[in-house]
Structure 1
Amino acid sequence: MRAYADNDYPGDYRPDWRVIASLWPYLKEFRGRVGIAAACLIVAKLATVATPVALKYIVDHLDAKDSGDMVLWIPVLLVVAYGLLRFSGTLFNEVRDAVFARVAERAMRRVSLQVFRHLHRLELGFHLDRRTGGLARDIERGTNGISFLLRFTLFNIVPTILELVMVCGILLFAFDPGYMLTVLVAVVIYVVFSIRVTEWRTRFVREANAKDNESNSRAVDSLLNYETVKYFSNEDFEAERYDANLAEWEQARLNNRLSLATLNAGQALIIGIGLIAVMAMAVTDVAAGDITLGDFTMINAYLLQLFIPLNALGFVYREIRQALVNVERLFGLLEQPPTVVDTPDAKPLAVTGGRIEFRHVEFGYRPDQRILQDVSFEVPAGSRVAVVGASGAGKSTLARLLFRFFDVQEGAITVDGQDIREVTQQSLREAIGVVPQDTVMFNDSLRRNILYGRPDASEEDLQRALRMAHLEDFVARLPEGLETRVGERGLKLSGGEKQRVAIARVILKDPPILVLDEATSSLDSVAEQHILEALDEVASNRTTLAIAHRLSTVNDADSILVMDAGCIVERGTHEQLLALGGRYARLWERQALGDEPSADA
């Protein structure tokens, strides 16, 4: 199965019909229900096909020339049978839907969960390249497409084909073969026309979906950056860009609807000609006395009964084809291979002290661009090592590699002598606590956001984390306290408040290794001092890698690494580096004068 990026389907794209077969594993859980639903389908269709036969005999009895010989109770019984057959067809269809409902909904649930888990297994690079809005729409369309395929393939196409076979069999054995041939020719022409025209118009459907993704992604992106839009008074600019996307979407939808009208008109014409041909043959045979009026009524009922679902079959085929596109796109996400994976024999990380070592590490986000070059250093167990440098030096990349968001291209990273590529990712990340520079929060209560560090933490542990992160006064000022909702991505909190939440999370997690990525960058000097004291307490007896922009926050580190252009150019204690009079000394002097370099990379 092919996997595509957001909107890069090639022009000659054809859906993979094997997708339908790939849904079978999701039905295995309910084999019994599937069997019962199939049985109800067959019984319902038999009742439906038998209904015109009952109608024929009713008409023939009522049309008897010698009404004195007509037994009145026979038509009455036939009318009752006719009503029961119609009722049975509807009843068994409803039972079928009720029995199968759990199957379809459970399949959607299973696939949605599988995709969700898989997306979390994919590396950071995948998510940096994708647009969240478009990805969410792909998942939504794909899961809905699965439900559509299961319901309409099994309960529309299959029953219609079954009914077509039954009706053609009855027409062949009860009447002149010309009736069956005429119906078959009309059906074949209808199907071929529907397929050809649908293939032609699929590009309009695909274009409409692509423009829908673009406009949705634009709206989500703009709303997530609400504050930035306001900072630059770019509301009109954003609206114009969104409207431009909507205009393209409008045109794509218009083309889609016009092509749909062409398809519907052609299908109606084919059905109309088929009906005229068959009914003309029936009228001629009735006039010639070859068939009865009841036969004529039965043929007419069969044609209406057959062509009505066949007309719907055109719609179903179009929708199934689009559902195949959506489901294949969803399954394409499942087949997107993660580049950061556990080895088959990966074992849990055994942390004895938390000693970290980078050995001749080489790494680049792109093959033609090296971010880190021959980086080697050690963070002894229980010590604190700081990494400083200008923007783009590669400092934050060290933290990403340690957390295995990416794998090194050359060299190795070890924790207590264990190559992190040879241990499970879960055990590695459970051992590391991160206070990031940009803390992203869930649109939930403050309590739940803090407890994300350890969801099963006790109230006592939570209150301790609040005290250590200096969040108590802030929470006390909130009318709803810890139940206050923080808004999308934590927009209702200041940068400093969000960083305190991140620190509280790490305190609850209580890991043996800490990574502080500009942990106090959004705090004022007074709050920073309090947080540094809390971090010092949290970091005691823990291995700590601190990435810093403000040199004053790390001048008491056991060792300081100075990076420039992906290389470590200086290393030593604060006093040693000042005495060296090199790059660190110049950075310290500039920050002391208030002329700080640009933000962290």
Structure 2
Amino acid sequence: MSSPDVPAQSTLKIYLRLLTYVRPYAGLFLLSILGFLIFASTQPVLAYILKYFVDGLANPEASLFPNNPYLKDLQLLQAVPMMIVIIALWQGVGSYLGNFFLARVSLGLVHDLRVALFNKLLELPNRYFDSHNSGHLISRITFNVTMVTGAATDAIKVVIREGLTVVFLFVSLLWMNWRLTLVMLAILPLIGIMVNSTSKKFRKQSKKIQVAMGDITHVVSETVQGFRVVRSFGGEEYEKNRFERASQSNTAKQLKMTKTGAVYTPMLQLVTYVGMAVVMFLVLFLRGDASAGDLVAYITMAGLLPKPIRQLSEVSSTIQKGVAGAESIFEQLDETPEVDQGTLSLDRVNGRLEVSNLSFKYPGSDKLVLNDISFVVEAGQMVALVGRSGSGKSTLANLVPRFYQHEQGQILLDDVPIQELTLRSLRRQIALVNQQVTLFNDTVANNIAYGDLAGAPLADIQVAAKEAYADEFIVTMPQGYETLVGENGVLLSGGQRQRLAIARALLKDVPILILDEATSALDTESERHIQASLDNAMNNRTTLVIAHRLTTIEKADLILVMDQGKIVERGTHPQLLAMNGFYSRLHARNFKESDDEAGAHTVGIC
């Protein structure tokens, strides 16, 4: 979310860009303008009918068109009520056309913006999500787009309908008495200054409201996702206070904006009515030979002006809210998508992985997270990364599928630099299982057969689930493979979620497997059953294992011991123990075989 202090683009520039999304609906938009044109044209006509009504009070039998031989028998007594009904019907047609078709346009516009914004999220690089909290990202798609809705519906409707009404009334007033009308025009510069000044305030306040709303969404999102931690550590009061502060901040900013509007509207109304008072004085003072009907029609038209002018002035706040929301949306739409300069697409690689002189630091940081890393894993071999927290293991694993772009050194897959492969082709070769499992609020089967795997036969899904030792709990669920797992698998245990993630990786059946603490959430019994499956899964696959359990680490073809971004030791398990160095100390401290009844091997390094 952009800061409210960042220099803003011009309101007109942003609003015009927003209106470019109307292009696909140009025909409907023109129909709505035609409707509002019809509606606005009826305003001065209704006022002008009063001239005939007042003149008809003295002689209701008088002809409406005395000089027309065909209509000279049409008396004011019948014509005035008939004209009012006809005008009302005509106004209704215009109102329907304007409101309905503009609603079609605006809802289509908002839908297109939402889709564009969400699709853009899927294209953005990892670093974007690292630097933007989820609450603000969600707020853009919900709250900010809602503000744009106001600018694209109510605001456009008011601007077109009331703007055309003002134009028609002014033209009619000029036609009836141009001298008096010019007096009214004298107040327009003052109104313009007031609108411009207040619009800047509205926009600045709207951006602050956006940030405050993002904070509210962020607090709610964190609390909902971490409700178990909140409850287990007694964080209820802290979260209540945090949410109350965020909500109070939003309320204060909303109130400030309301105060601005509450002061601005009466001031503008006062200026408008002062102009009206001057005109009425001049009408009475300089009435000349005008009939009573003419004067009533003129005053009525002049009296109709303050309402649309006031509505046009009030719409400024809606437009500025929409512009502030649109500016935030366009900031995200203008973000550079994930870089993909690769041109080579491979169906399936053998899996030879070579890392050469690789160094990496995160964008915006000067600290090297990886420093001159080099190693080779032949196709079908397994390399294990061990080391203390923060040593760079997970970063290295994230560079292989190019979740981040490295600039120093090379990562080669089958002797091809991974930058030369398209992202889709590269990631199609890799199955990743993280410690933090992501599941969707969908069925068990759809969570296993996700993305490119969607549509996989149920038999294949079941085979993958059995190999991951997940079938045994899936078949006991109410609807089996069609059971909903809840948001992020909330209805499952940690071990069950992990087994579904492993089943997903097994179903993908790719040459490269990355296991990042993949069995950390498994209980001892499940781990025993799944270990053989993992051994089978790693057969003929290049496997990168991060701080896995000892039973897997021992079998690695190569163990890389990392510390502060460097490889400090390398070799097989027996070789590293014989060195009696860094790995040996880690093994003694963290890979010690437990003496409990399960006799499980555990690891505490991540």
TM-score (norm 2): 0.90
Structure 1 residues 202 and 26: alpha-carbon distance in aligned structure 2, compared to 1, 3 A threshold: closer
Comparing 72-81 and 371-380, the one that deviates more: 72-81
2:11 to 7, 16, 20: 16
**Greater CA deviation, 134-143 or 329-338?**
134-143
Residue 278 (structure 2) pairs with residue 280 (structure 1): no
Instruction: Name the residue aligned to 2:107.
Output: 105
Pairing of 1:142-541 with structure 2 (within 5 A): 142-152=144-154, 154-178=156-180, 180-285=181-286, 288-338=287-337, 340-343=338-341, 346-365=343-362, 366-452=364-450, 454-541=453-540
Q: Distance in 1 between matches of 2:204 and 2:604?
A: 46
Counterpart code for 1:592: K
Relative distance call for 1:309 and 1:598 in structure 2 (3 A) is: farther
**Equivalent in 115, 127, 130 of residue 128 of structure 1:** 130
Residue 496 of structure 1, CA deviation:
1.0
Distance 1:210 1:369, change over 3 A: same
Q: Which letter does structure 2 place at the counterpart of 1:573?
A: T
CA shift in 2, pair 1:594/1:48, >3 Å: same
Judging changes above 3 Å, is the alpha-carbon distance between structure 1 residues 157 and 580 closer, same or farther for their aligned structure 2 residues? Answer: same
The answer to whether the 8 Å contact 1:131/1:217 transfers is: yes
Which of 27, 33, 38 aligns to 2:33? It is 38
Q: CA deviation at 1:444?
A: 3.2
Q: How much does 1:11 deviate?
A: 7.0
CA distance in structure 2 between the partners assigned to 1:172 and 1:306 by the alignment: 13
Paired residues, number = 591
Letter in 2 for 1:60: D
| SS of equivalent to 1:392 | coil
Q: Deviations over 1:475-501 (max 9, x none)?
A: 233334334433333233222111111
8 Å CA contact 2:212–2:250 kept in 1: the answer is yes
Note the C-alpha offset of 1:550.
2.8
Measure how far apart 1:221 and its partner are: 1.2
Matched residues in 1 for 2:604 and 2:301: separation? 77
Deviations 1:313-360 (A, max 9, x none): 12211110121011011000111223x4112x6232453302111111
Evaluate the alpha carbon distance shift between residue 39 and residue 347 of structure 1 in structure 2; reply closer, same or farther with a 3 A threshold.
farther
Secondary structure at 1:421 match in 2: helix
Matches of 1:38 and 1:92, distance apart in 2: 9
- Cα 1:68/1:13, change in 2 over 3 Å: closer
Residue in 1 aligned with 2:570? 571
SS in structure 1 opposite 2:544? Answer: strand
**Paired residue for 1:592?**
592
Separation of aligned partners in 2, 1:448 and 1:59: 75
**1:48 is aligned to 2:43:** yes
SS at match of 2:440: coil
The match for 1:95 among 88, 91, 97 is 97
AA matched with 2:228: E
Equivalent position of 1:116 in the other structure = 118
| Structure 1 counterpart of 2:598 | none
Conserved? CA contact 1:167–1:302, under 8 Å: yes
- The range that moved more, 66-75 or 397-406, is 66-75
What CA distance in whole angstroms lies between the structure 1 residues aligned with 2:426 and 2:570?
A: 27
Give the CA deviation at 1:524. 1.9
| Residue identity opposite 2:545 in structure 1 | A
Q: What letter is aligned with 1:582?
A: G
Question: What's the secondary structure of 1:568's corresponding residue?
Answer: strand
d(CA) in 1 for partners of 2:58, 2:189: 36
Q: Is the 2:381–2:543 contact (alpha carbons within 8 Å) kept by the matching residues of 1?
A: yes
Distance in 2 (CA, whole Å) between partners of 1:555 and 1:294 is 103
Percent identity of equivalent pairs: 30
**Aligned partners of 1:538, 1:416: CA distance in 2, in Å?**
20
What is the Cα deviation at residue 400 of structure 1?
A: 0.7
SS in structure 2 at match of 1:412: strand
- For 2:391 and 2:265, how far apart are their aligned partners in 1? 62
In structure 2, relative to structure 1, the CA distance for the partners of 1:483 and 1:245 (3 Å cut) is same
Contact 1:388/1:551, CA 8 A, preserved across alignment:
no
Query: 2:40 touches 2:168 (CA, 8 Å); kept in 1?
Result: no
Listed one character per residue, the Cα deviations across residues 295-325 of structure 1 (whole Å, up to 9, x for unaligned) are: 2332233234322122111221111012101
Deviation at 1:395, TM superposition (A): 0.7
- More displaced 10-residue stretch of structure 1: 28-37 or 568-577: 28-37
Contact in 2 for aligned 1:349/1:418 (Cα 8 Å): no
Residue segments in structure 1 that go unaligned for 5+ positions in a row: 1-5
1:440/1:352 CA distance change after superposition, 3 Å = closer
Amino acid at match of 2:358: V
Q: Which amino acid aligns with 2:265?
A: N
* Equivalent position of 2:69 in the other structure: none
The 1:564–1:186 alpha-carbon spacing in structure 2 relative to 1, beyond 3 Å, is same
Does the aligned pair in 1 maintain the 2:39–2:161 contact within 8 Å?
Answer: no
1:84–1:113 distance in 2 versus 1, CA, 3 Å: same
Question: CA 1:304 to 1:459, structure 2 compared with 1: closer, same or farther past 3 Å?
Answer: farther
**Cα distance change on mapping 1:406 and 1:494 into 2, 3 Å:** same
Contact 2:2/2:328 (<8 A) preserved: no
The more displaced of 502-511 and 54-63 is 54-63
Scaled by the length of structure 1, what TM-score is found?
0.91
Q: How big is each residue's C-alpha offset from its partner over 1:214-236, in whole Å with a ceiling of 9 and x where there is no partner?
A: 23311221221111112211111
TM-align CA RMSD: 2.6
Conserved in 2, the CA contact under 8 Å of 1:432 and 1:513? yes
Alpha-carbon spacing, 1:367–1:202, altered in 2? closer, same or farther (3 Å): closer
